[in-house]
Amino acid sequence: MQHTLNITTRNEASVVERLLQVTRYRGYQLAGLAMTPLTDRAGLQITLTVQSEKPITLLTSQLVKLYDVQQLELASADVAVLRA
Amino acid sequence: MKGAELVLKVLQQQGVDTIFGYPGGAIMPIYDAIYHSTVKHYLCRHEQGGAFSAIGYARASGKVGVCLATSGPGATNLITSLADALLDSVPLVAITGQVSQAVMGTDAFQEVDVLGLSLGVTKHSFMVRDVNELAHTLQEAFRLAESGRPGPVLVDIPKDIQLAEVSEPEWPTLPTARLATSLANAAKARQLIAQAKKPIAYIGGGVQMADALPQLQAFLAESEMPSVTTLKGMGSVARANPHYLGMLGMHGTQAANLAVQQADLLICLGARFDDRVTGKLDKFAPHAKVIHVDIDPAEINKVRFADCALLGDMKQILPAISTATQCADWLAHCQQLKQQYGWRYDHPGERIFAPLMLKQLSERMPDNSVVCCDVGQHQMWVAQHMRFNSPRNHLSSGGLGTMGFGLPAAIGAKLARPQDTVIAVSGDGSFMMNVQELGTIKRFRLPVKIVIIDNQRLGMVKQWQQLFFNERYSETDLSDNPDFVALAAAFAIPGHTITRKDEVASALEAMFSWPGPYLLHVRIDEKDNVWPLVPPGAANEDMLTETN
């Protein structure tokens, strides 16, 4: 099953690596990645698409723990804000 | 002042008076600042040893442990310790020197991408690129290491940042991370507990880390029920509690495992359903509903579905879910299991039986002693046969299972709690993994007691080879071990070897009455194994014992 996550992060050099490391380690396959600096360049807007048969909450609960992640939304039919 | 001096200022401002480390080229400015600092640095003999000492210090004291290493090999030597701290949720700040920014990315001498290496083994890692951000970054590292679910944080500081001039910043007080606690499910939890016929508390390291041991005793008194602990939870339940059944899991007590398998309600407190605890997951506590209390939302439903979850501060949650139980028959049944499957210490022959020796050690050691283990058979025997009155007194590498943990952790524990007796219980395999730390014990004249349980084998691996690999003993023979007493003597540490049961009591007496460090070398039969054992892939009620 495919899921798309809209993630707002600090604009830190290692932030994409961190997201991808957690995604790989927790067993989710990367299906898409896009990144745009926010207008003030202090943050990044990252769209991460992953594929897995596992519940997506097992990934989102790990990603929201990352220090650099400020907000994470699941962009599926039933959009849920997991952390404001 | 220079950035390096500012590092020491921040450590002092954070209340740090003890650090562990090993110098090298890219961290020399910080070591130069240490030269005049009041922060006491303990030179270890390997960066891994230094980091394990910092972990031992943190686990024995509840404070943040701090370790230092240089770039390149110094930093890579920290990786195992960082992973250990991550898996056991230990607050640790690791500071590494890095090559100067001008040469970063050029494969400079002793340059390694430690930030990249740290991603999977830290709670977070920082690279300081501007000396004006140095103080804030270090403060943030401390805040992060001890807030929420604690863990290791790495701060990589390039040499030019250490050498850069910076004015002493004002010291803004960072907001204390507020622990959001939700009691919305407390009523549901109380209802589940009140309705349960066979409730059981499954207690992990998170209870003590939340400083909630008094609340736990009160909960177990009001919600009278049997309890079991994980390896990290050992010592959480008061010794006087009659319903404590011991450790559960692969080498847990039969009473603990059978009770959990029969329970209709499992109250998981600060634990995470580790595979060494659950055995075959879909057969673990098959009849039980689950109440899961934790500080980390990611643990809820990660492994086992929770019928009721409560997140946040255990100190608030435990009183909120306390309620009277109606399970006298269940308590009596568990008591009967406890008696039926109690440990037996009768062992034929004159040779030392490690479980009995450890029971004697446990009875002889002063109250509030800290026991630091390595990993393997001796570690499980310690968990089974020694009693502790706090998880801070039983330091064992749980999640990562790191051989070489015990000796350096004991050094850290002794420095954290100089008034308490500290005992490193090791195996002959594990001891050799960080044996160089005998040099640290010698240098600082640390009166650490060392007990090596020597079966001249990598005992736990050999046990599995015997049971599950048709006795093909591949690379587990250590019969060419060094003379451990002579080895200790080379570090001016006295020692003694014993081989017979009748020598144990007097040997323990001699060890404890010696004022300084001491090594007791205990030879045991290589045929002795750890029982019971839940075979891999089996349910926890399918325990192998010595007789089956």
User: What letter would DSSP give residue A21?
Assistant: H
> Strand locations in B176-324, DSSP E?
199-203, 227-229, 244-247, 265-269, 289-294, 308-311
Interface probe, candidates A9, A21, A58, A61, chain B, greatest B C-beta count within 10 A: A61
- Interface size, chain A vs chain B, as Cβ–Cβ contacts under 8 Å: 29
> Taking the complete model, does pTM exceed 0.95, yes or no?
yes
Distance from B91 to chain A by nearest Cα, in Å?
A: 15
What confidence score (pLDDT) does residue B240 get?
86
Query: B244-300, pLDDT tens digit by residue?
Result: 999 999 999 999 999 999 999 999 999 999 999 999 999 999 999 999 999 999 999
B22-26, B174-178, B349-353, B454-458: least confident range? B174-178
At B173, the pLDDT band (50, 70, 90 cuts) reads low
Q: Does B41 touch chain A (CB under 8 A)?
A: no
What confidence score (pLDDT) does residue B328 get?
96
Give dist(CA B154, CA B68) in Å, integer: 10
Q: Which of B181, B179, B194, B182 is nearest to B322 (CA)?
A: B194
Q: Which residue of B has its CA nearest to A63?
A: B298
Active site residues of B: 47, 109-110, 159, 460
What confidence score (pLDDT) does residue B175 get?
66
> Strand locations in B57-106, DSSP E?
65-69, 92-98
Q: What is the mean pLDDT of chain B?
A: 96
What confidence score (pLDDT) does residue B274 get?
95
Chain A partners within 8 Å of B301 (Cβ):
55, 57-58
What confidence score (pLDDT) does residue B443 get?
98
Q: Which residue of A has its CA nearest to B120?
A: A21
Is pLDDT above 90 for B335? Answer: yes
Distance from B144 to chain A by nearest Cα, in Å?
A: 9
Give dist(CA B151, CA B84) in Å, integer: 10
Cβ–Cβ below 8 Å for B302 and A18: no
What confidence score (pLDDT) does residue A84 get?
42
Q: Which of residues 12-51 of A touch B (CB under 8 A)?
A: 13-14, 17-18, 21, 25
Give dist(CA B502, CA B25) in Å, integer: 53
Q: Which residue of B has its CA nearest to A23?
A: B120
Give dist(CA B126, CA B108) in Å, integer: 20
Q: Which amino acid appears at position B396 of this protein? A: S
Query: B82-103, pLDDT tens digit by residue?
Result: 999 999 999 999 999 999 999 9
Provide the sign of the torsion angle of the four alpha carbons B284, B285, B288, B291, taken in this order: negative
Q: Which amino acid appears at position B185 of this protein? A: N
Chain B partners within 8 Å of A68 (Cβ):
124
Percentage with pLDDT > 70 across chain B: 99
Domains belonging to chain B, first-starting first, are 3-163 (3.40.50.970), 186-340 (3.40.50.1220), 354-523 (3.40.50.970)
Q: Does A76 touch chain B (CB under 8 A)?
A: no
Averaged pLDDT, B291-317: 97
Chain B partners within 8 Å of A62 (Cβ):
298
Q: Which of A53, A45, A47 is nearest to A2 (CA)?
A: A53
Q: Where are the domains of chain A?
A: 2-83
What confidence score (pLDDT) does residue A77 get?
54
Strands B244-247 and B265-269: unpaired
Interface probe, candidates B118, B125, B302, B303, chain A, greatest A C-beta count within 10 A: B302
Element containing residue B155 per DSSP (H, E): strand B152-158
Query: B526-542, pLDDT tens digit by residue?
Result: 999 999 999 999 999 99
At the topology level of CATH, where does A2-83 sit? Alpha-Beta Plaits (3.30.70)
What confidence score (pLDDT) does residue B372 get?
98
Chain A partners within 8 Å of B272 (Cβ):
none
Element containing residue B336 per DSSP (H, E): helix B328-340
Classify residue B118 as left (phi > 0), alpha (psi -120 to 50) or beta.
Answer: alpha
Provide the sign of the torsion angle of the four alpha carbons B305, B307, B313, B319, taken in this order: negative
Cβ–Cβ below 8 Å for B119 and A58: no
Out of A17, A58, A62, the one facing B119 most closely (by C-beta) is A17
Query: A17-76, pLDDT tens digit by residue?
Result: 999 999 999 999 999 999 999 988 899 999 999 999 999 999 999 999 999 999 999 986
At A78, the pLDDT band (50, 70, 90 cuts) reads very low
Is pLDDT above 80 for B547? Answer: no
SS3 assignment, position B32: helix
Which two tokens mark B145? 């290491």
Query: B49-64, pLDDT tens digit by residue?
Result: 999 999 999 999 999 9
Q: Would you call B516 exposed, middle or buried from its count of C-beta atoms within 10 A (0-12, 13-18, 19+)?
A: middle
Residue B14, Cα to own-chain centre: how many angstroms? 23
Q: Which of residues 92-151 of B touch A (CB under 8 A)?
A: 115-116, 119-120, 123-125, 127, 144
Query: B213-247, pLDDT tens digit by residue?
Result: 999 999 999 999 999 999 999 999 988 899 999 99
